[in-house]
Amino acid sequence: MYPTTVGQLTQHPSILAGENIDRTILPDDDYDRHEPYFIQSVFRRNCDNVCELATPSDPVIRAKAEDLALKVAADLESRMSAEAQLRESYTGRWGYDNYRNELWGDYPTSGNDSNSDGPKLASMNAGDAIGYHQAFILFVAHQVKAFIGKQVAAGALKPEDCRLILPVLNPNEDTDYRGTRSGDYKNNKYFAHVECGMFPPSSHVEKQETLTLDNFVAYVEIEGYLDSYEDVEPMLVRKTKPLFFGQHNRHFAWGLAATCHEVFAHVFGPDDVWASKVIDVSGAEGRQTLISLLVNWSLCSVDRLGFDPSIRYVHGGDPHLEIDIHEVDANTGQVEKRTFYSKHCMVAAESFIGRRARYFAASADSNQLDDLAVLIKDVWVSSGSDSASDMRERLVLNRIQSEFGGFSEFSDSFAPLAHSGPAFIGHGDALVEDTTTSAFAGLTSNSPVRLHRRTVRQWVGNPISAATDQNQVVVAIADIMEALNAAYDKCKIVHGNISDQAILLKETAGGIKGVLADFDYASPSGDSVSESPELKAFQSIHSLEKPGVVHTRLDNWESILYLVCWLGTFGISREQRAEYAAKYAEECAAKGELYIPISDWNQGTADKVARYKRYAMSGEIGFGSDTLFHMRHSPLHSPLHSPLHDLAWEMYKALSLHTGTYGAIQIANKILADMGDGDIPTALWALPDVDNRRDPLLLRNGYEEEIVENLLRIVARYKHAALATTFG
């Protein structure tokens, strides 16, 4: 059923359990000018049922959580109204009554809050606010700890099924906990954040010093002004995005955006960010809501915290991940489980929006973690139907394999599946198929349905990011495009999702070979593709503008061109990209901010990315002065050895300067000039709503065969040169 052969992983990005989150999560980017557009496109505000998502699914635990939250809230209100002077109880750690001093100290007030029965918080700055919100979390945690202790002693709870939610000391935080300046991109306002983690019930109720990849829960982003909620959102997004890269079992994410006394709970899902209605902690009702959320986080199952329980971090010895694969027995209908073991995450989820594709190199034996038997892909695919009928990748690969058999030179260019099926999440004694419908009940009415799928392949090789130089990338690209062309000739299959995640490097006796994986968006030629693969940097313009458009082979070649430009500019491996970022920062410091147009290919909404790409593809001068210019001036560029730069130029000419396409540009340019729009060669390409009769992207389809043949000759020539250079 599963492959048994093993291989050795020669190079990989490896992120292991127990590592400090600050060393493994990607660093914060500078302010992204596209962030407001991104937030506008995915945020759903004033949503019902956001906080309810954390409610324990077990009815017994749910009742206990409700009762505990009421008691904590009653105690809090009683303490707030008490007239007795606080007694000092410092014991080397925060004393229980000292929380009150932090929570409702003598903060400045405004006239509007003079009648409030709660904390006087209206004019707090970020430093005051961070102390308040940290103290609130600690106050709740203290009572949760006492409750868990009694329940465990009575045998009503298991300590491993519950936790304390505690803030983590920011290493840059001032000793008086007044917060730090973590962003001033707008109006020079000051922000602070609290990192919240889950810790064993035996932990001391105090700020923790360390946070690891497997126990980070949520960011609380704080800005100390009444009207600044919309300013806090970009900061919360920026902090939360890297969690999906570093936490390989991250299912969805929680986050809290807070002003001085208003809190908004957020859930980061595959297609939407749901924000709750305002939680006003200056009033008793708001405090009750926030207490309930913190209590539920402490007692709910880990999947309600946003973790995938079928992927688990394992400490001790050689740290690794346990990954469960579920199969449904066709005869009995029973779900059978098999566990694989991985310490190699080959491709991490780059974003919290979209498919969140992850690839793991895994072993079937926990004692032989480096003997790699399989490649596991974990992904959220979009679908309008139930998972039983959505078997696109398996059906496409089966068709290709049956056509090629074992005798074609391309038969080993496609990585066949050993298993493809849904991921399951346990609720009580039952297993539930993991979909956005089941995971986000009450939140998904206007969201696309996504299915959590896990596929298993025999171990093939490393991702393209493991290539040691540009020549290996050229060889891999030529291999997969030749194989895709053969698949089109025999099966009329169009891939639809070319990216750096879809290409693997296989070691052969003659060197390396490119292998194509990830057929989640493949379709028969002539079929429209109803969804977008969300890897905007590599998507063709038409797939960005019109997800329902019919994809052709030219869409695949356009994606390859973008991939070549991307890798040639920013680097192949994660290490090279980090080197590029460091050198780019040095140049910015010396010369001022530098704008790299290609970076727009991965930012903003799909229609905006399409506009940027139309501009980049607008003509020989535009492509040369923008895209190629920055490839040549990349810190990683070598004038004597940068085949990706030259390949990009030749591919561009074949795709966009063909007689049919280029002629269409000139004709349209004449029409636009006559209309008074100016003699601007880029005008047509910069408008996605251009008349289809004049759109070069459609007109070139009439020359598809001729253009593809030319492109195949180009990549074959570059492949021959690369093999001669690399392997003699």
CA-to-CA distance for 630 and 648, rounded, in angstroms? Answer: 12
When pLDDT is averaged across residues 111-121 and rounded to a whole number, the result is: 38
- Of 305, 339, 366, which residue is a domain's last? 305
User: Per DSSP, what are the bridge partners of residue 379?
Assistant: 453
Please check whether residues 194 and 340 belong to one and the same domain.
no
How far is residue 292's CA from residue 296's CA, in Å, rounded to a whole number?
6
- What whole-number distance in Å separates Cα of residue 490 and Cα of residue 483? 11
* Lowest mean per-residue pLDDT among 249-263, 457-471, 542-556: 542-556
* Per-residue model confidence as pLDDT tens digits over 120-137: 443 445 556 777 788 889
pLDDT tens-place string over residues 24-75: 333 334 345 556 666 777 888 899 999 999 999 899 999 999 999 999 999 8
Is there a domain that residue 593 lies in?
yes
Based on the fold, state whether residues 700 and 552 are members of the same structural domain.
yes
pLDDT in tens, 248-258: 899 899 999 98
Q: Among 405, 427, 460, identify where a domain stops.
A: 460
For residues 394 and 478, membership in a common domain is answered with no
Q: Are residues 39 and 184 in the same domain?
A: yes
Q: Is residue 114 part of a domain?
A: yes
The answer to whether residue 310 sits within a structural domain is no
- Asked if 307 and 249 touch (Cβ cutoff 8 Å), the reply is yes
Q: How far is CA 123 from the centre of its chain?
A: 36
Q: Do 207 and 257 sit in the same domain of this protein?
A: yes
User: How many Cα neighbours within 13 Å face the side chain of 33?
Assistant: 7
pLDDT at residue 89 is higher than 60: no
Confidence (pLDDT) at 369: 83
- Tokens linked to 333: 């209908």
- Strands 216-223 vs 253-258: parallel, antiparallel or unpaired: parallel
Considering the domain boundaries, does residue 441 fall inside one? yes
508-541 per-position pLDDT tens digit: 877 889 998 888 878 776 666 655 556 788 888 8
Based on the fold, state whether residues 574 and 585 are members of the same structural domain.
Answer: yes
Select the more confidently predicted residue: 253 or 235: 253
Give the pLDDT mean for 151-169: 91
Which residue would you say has higher pLDDT here, 434 or 109? 434
Are residue 322 and residue 182 in the same domain, yes or no?
Answer: no
The pLDDT of residue 590: 75
Tens of pLDDT, residues 320-355: 899 999 888 777 778 888 899 998 888 888 777 777
In a domain, 548, yes or no: yes
* Residues 397-420, mean pLDDT to the nearest whole number: 77
How far is the C-alpha of 79 from the C-alpha of 429, rounded, in Å? Answer: 41
Which tokens hold the place of 142? 């203290």
- The pLDDT, as a whole number, for residue 680 is 34
22-36, 142-156, 312-326, 413-427 — which one is most confidently predicted on average? Answer: 142-156
Name the band, by pLDDT with cuts 50, 70 and 90, for residue 386: very low
**DSSP 3-state assignment of 283?**
coil
Question: Domain check: are 531 and 615 in the same one?
Answer: yes
Q: Are strands 43-47 and 273-276 parallel, antiparallel or unpaired?
A: parallel
Share of the chain above pLDDT 70, in %: 72
Residue 322 shares a structural domain with residue 213: no
360 strand-pairing partners = 345, 376
Query: What single DSSP character describes residue 111?
Result: G
Q: Report pLDDT digits (tens) over 604-614.
A: 677 778 888 88
The dihedral through the CA atoms of 89, 91, 94, 95 has a sign that is negative
Residue 625's pLDDT band (cuts 50, 70, 90): confident
Asked if the model's pLDDT at residue 669 lies above 70, the reply is: no
Residue-by-residue DSSP string for 559-576? HHHHHHHHHHHH-SSHHH
Whole-number Å distance between alpha carbons of 653 and 200:
60
Q: In terms of domains, do 448 and 580 share one?
A: no
pLDDT at residue 713, as a whole number: 95
Assess contact for 680 and 696: CB atoms under 8 A. Answer: no
Residue range 691-715: mean pLDDT, rounded = 82
Closest by Cα among 651, 310, 319, 564 to 452: 310
| Nearest-10 crossing angle of helices 643-656, 659-674 | 70
Split into its structural domains, the chain has a count of 3
pLDDT at 195 over 80: yes
- pLDDT computed for residue 117 by the predictor: 37
With respect to residue 570, please indicate whether it lies within any of the assigned structural domains: yes
Q: Is the pLDDT of residue 198 over 60?
A: yes
How big is the CA angle at 520 (ends 551 and 249), to the nearest 5 degrees? 140
Mean pLDDT over the full length of the chain: 75
pLDDT higher for 196 or 182?
Answer: 196
Return the pLDDT at 164: 95
Find, among 283, 291, 331, the residue nearest to 117 by Cα. Answer: 283
| Maximum average pLDDT range among 111-115, 492-496, 622-626 | 492-496
**The two structure tokens encoding residue 85:** 């002077």
Tokens at 293, concatenated: 């959320």
CB atoms within 10 A of CB 688: 18
Classify residue 377: in a domain, yes or no: yes
Exposure class string for 373-398: b at 16+ Cβ within 10 A, else e:
bbbbbbbbbbbeeebeebebbbebbe
Q: Sorting pLDDT into bands at 50, 70 and 90, what band is 145?
A: very high
Per-residue pLDDT at 475: 94
pLDDT at 406: 58
Which of 273, 254, 229 has its CA nearest to residue 44? 273
The dihedral through the CA atoms of 169, 174, 179, 181 has a sign that is: negative
User: Which domain range does residue 652 map to?
Assistant: 462-728
- State the pLDDT at residue 33: 52
For β-strands 279-280 and 262-268, DSSP reports them as antiparallel
How high is the pLDDT of residue 381?
82
Looking at the fold, whether 527 and 420 belong to one and the same domain comes out as no
660 within some domain: yes
Q: What whole-number distance in Å separates Cα of residue 19 and Cα of residue 630?
A: 36
Q: Identify the residue with better confidence: 430 or 45.
A: 45
Looking up residue 642, the CATH number of its domain turns out to be 1.10.510.10
pLDDT at 657 over 90: no
CB-hemisphere CA count at 13 Å for 156? Answer: 14
List pLDDT tens digits, range 287-327.
Answer: 999 999 999 999 999 999 999 999 998 877 788 899 999 88
Residue range 642-665: average pLDDT?
78
User: Which distant-in-sequence residues (6+ apart) come within 8 Å of 587 by Cβ?
Assistant: 594, 635
Domain final residue, candidates 305, 324, 349: 305
Q: Can you state the angle between helices 470-491 and 704-727, rounded to 10 degrees?
A: 140
Residues 115 and 224 in one domain: yes
